[in-house]
Structure 1
């Protein structure tokens, strides 16, 4: 059974609703066992990967799992809280690089639909200084040859200076010479959204996409709210990246001591990423978006529907199709990562989505309507932070078992 990519009778696209496992063609037992898959690596022990998490699983528009685990915050500025804040299903997370698709790519898709941006137009049309061979499509697929990362805040105090700094850097690779995942490329895409739309990235993507989908808890700079998950204690990880030049060499002759804006408090409601926080003042194309598992699932369902949700069409079906299939490299669409389920037997080779450094991940199989969202606060309370990949795999394997369980009974 496939989820239709067109509206149902009456012009209505499928929407998410809570329901029973059998309604989604899944077995209840394996879905219940997902609790253990998530809590197995949850804090507060020394080997814990995260203090809390939220998991959402849906299929055919039926939400069969939406569960919160553990704590959203256990420490403040290095000291353990007497009463740690519990995680809730509606907890708001720093989505980190999931911003690349949930905000920036979504905005570019809308601009394409509105005839304001062409995927194959030179990025220099909107951002002078970018080499003419670098197109919007190259930026979206991380094949533009840009540096993967640089601490722009060592040279820039605001977004305009940061964009100028990026466009002044030499390319690290030849345009089209392989995929090199680049935060800098998505910083430029955020600027393209601003210049092509005539509005800020948050304003444009909110009005054009998020508001229409009623993604009420999605946005930039949420501030310290009672249901926001905490992340790291300052930016120790980036300080170490600069000090060690690992994993990327640092261009220029400035270091950590040349920047006096380092945060030293526990981050709650302010973006973890240093470039987004310091140079871009919380709003950037590569990071900075906050949101909930439910809102992410709504966006994922919209992709499964071919661009519509409820009575609203937000994106054209052809645009969704183009952006969510492989482009120059296997596993990379236009902004989206592809084949997110292919390494788990029983899930097929579908699944488009993304992950974020703070411990966030989502994927949706557009053909099958399967949605999996796993949000954690793995950077809290302090480094070193463990990988969430073992949990993400265990969750996907559990979902596959839930699908197989129904097939066996049939």
Structure 2
């Protein structure tokens, strides 16, 4: 397997110069490990002499949905504790007789459950965690289940609650014990981070209340409202931990121990699960923009500027971590960089590496 490292570095350096992000950390590899990696830019523009580092800690944002929720739901599915097509109301008393009664886990994982499109937790339910939980689980649907594919943070929030219900554990403990510890992901954890770890964290958006950039505290408001732990966001991670996670998805024998999910869950998730609906989705993962089904390249992003790609057919994975929110919420400049990065990391036509 070969990569055009010079072109990847030039692409990411250009993103720094254009102020798409202050800095970036990236890697590409296969089941055997990292094949190429690098850094670009600085950790914090206010400290221009401090470069980005390979062990910089990033606010994973919606990658939490993969690292914690998707993986833990997969563990429960492989345990036989969860049927993806069983209506939630038939085994979850909290939603029995409520709008979620007939919704299935598969519909939540494919964003076809008909949930409200925005979280708006504080506006709708206040600040008490139990009031928020009750409100989310009893909220009316935006449309009938199975009618459309519409991305919403609420799907992951509900699945996080479901994982806690079925396991009898909090989401952070469940993810740590069933996923992160077995894979050796020792730097992945929910925030807020202790000061000694936050010092290595890439700062994100300016907090108007404190007039400082968030660092070690989740950018996502819902995660902060819920104390740092929820299915939507809140996890922090480093490049090496993502590499371990993605390698395991390609080959479970690469890990120190077997994690809660295995090849059955990965294979099911990285296939189209939305039938004739568009845009097509697997289970939480979706096909990478600009690719065809034959390419078999799947992706999940985080709003802070994170992203992971994987292709079982090509036997490859890639990760790109940035703190683009330091500058802007504008999505398009980073989208262009991401798509170009993906194009350099994966082969068109889905050819396997040599």
TM-score when normalising by structure 1:
0.77
- Is the contact between residue 341 and residue 348 of structure 1 (CA under 8 Å) also seen in structure 2? no
- Is the contact between residue 362 and residue 371 of structure 1 (CA under 8 Å) also seen in structure 2? yes
In structure 2, the partner of 1:227 is 200
If you compute each CA radius of gyration, which structure gives the higher value, 1 or 2?
A: 1
Does 1:207 pair with 2:177?
Answer: yes
- Is the contact between residue 32 and residue 254 of structure 2 (CA under 8 Å) also seen in structure 1? no
Trace 1:19-58 onto structure 2 (pairs within 5 A): 25-27=1-3, 30-43=4-17, 47-58=18-29
Q: Distance in 2 between matches of 1:138 and 1:403?
A: 29
User: How much has 1:231 moved relative to structure 2?
Assistant: 0.4
User: How much has 1:263 moved relative to structure 2?
Assistant: 6.1
Question: Which of 333, 341, 362 matches 2:282?
Answer: 333
Say which SS state the counterpart of residue 268 (structure 1) adopts.
coil
Question: Which of 40, 48, 58 matches 1:69?
Answer: 40
In structure 1, the partner of 2:62 is 97
- Is the contact between residue 61 and residue 369 of structure 1 (CA under 8 Å) also seen in structure 2? no
After superposition, the CA RMSD in angstroms is 2.6
In structure 2, the partner of 1:139 is 108
User: How much has 1:145 moved relative to structure 2?
Assistant: 0.3
Alignment deviations for residues 364-384 of structure 1 (CA, whole Å, 9 cap, x no partner): 111222111011100014555
Residues 353 and 402 of structure 1, relative CA distance in 2, 3 Å threshold: closer
Question: Which of 138, 148, 152 matches 1:168?
Answer: 138
Alignment deviations for residues 225-250 of structure 1 (CA, whole Å, 9 cap, x no partner): 22111100127xxxxxxxxxxxxxxx
Question: Which of 231, 235, 251 matches 1:285?
Answer: 231
Alignment deviations for residues 29-79 of structure 1 (CA, whole Å, 9 cap, x no partner): x22221001111214xxx4210100010113524222212111222xxxxx
Does 1:149 pair with 2:122?
Answer: no
- Is the contact between residue 163 and residue 187 of structure 1 (CA under 8 Å) also seen in structure 2? no
Alignment deviations for residues 331-390 of structure 1 (CA, whole Å, 9 cap, x no partner): 3111222x327628xx95212230011111111111222111011100014555663111
Does 1:343 pair with 2:314?
Answer: no
User: How much has 1:295 moved relative to structure 2?
Assistant: 1.1
Question: Which of 215, 222, 228 matches 1:268?
Answer: 215
User: How much has 1:130 moved relative to structure 2?
Assistant: 4.5
- Is the contact between residue 44 and residue 203 of structure 2 (CA under 8 Å) also seen in structure 1? yes
Say which SS state the counterpart of residue 335 (structure 1) adopts.
coil
Q: Distance in 2 between matches of 1:134 and 1:188?
A: 11
Q: Distance in 1 between matches of 2:103 and 2:282?
A: 17
TM-score when normalising by structure 2:
0.88
Trace 1:79-98 onto structure 2 (pairs within 5 A): 80-81=46-47, 85-98=50-63
Residues 277 and 311 of structure 1, relative CA distance in 2, 3 Å threshold: closer
More helix by share: 2
Say which SS state the counterpart of residue 185 (structure 1) adopts.
helix
User: How much has 1:397 moved relative to structure 2?
Assistant: 2.5
Q: Which runs of 5+ in 2 are unaligned?
A: none
Q: Distance in 1 between matches of 2:304 and 2:142?
A: 26
Question: Which of 151, 156, 181 matches 2:151?
Answer: 181
- Is the contact between residue 139 and residue 186 of structure 1 (CA under 8 Å) also seen in structure 2? yes
Does 1:313 pair with 2:262?
Answer: no
Deviating more after overlay: 132-141 vs 387-396 = 387-396
Residues 308 and 173 of structure 1, relative CA distance in 2, 3 Å threshold: farther
User: How much has 1:288 moved relative to structure 2?
Assistant: 0.9
Count of aligned positions: 341
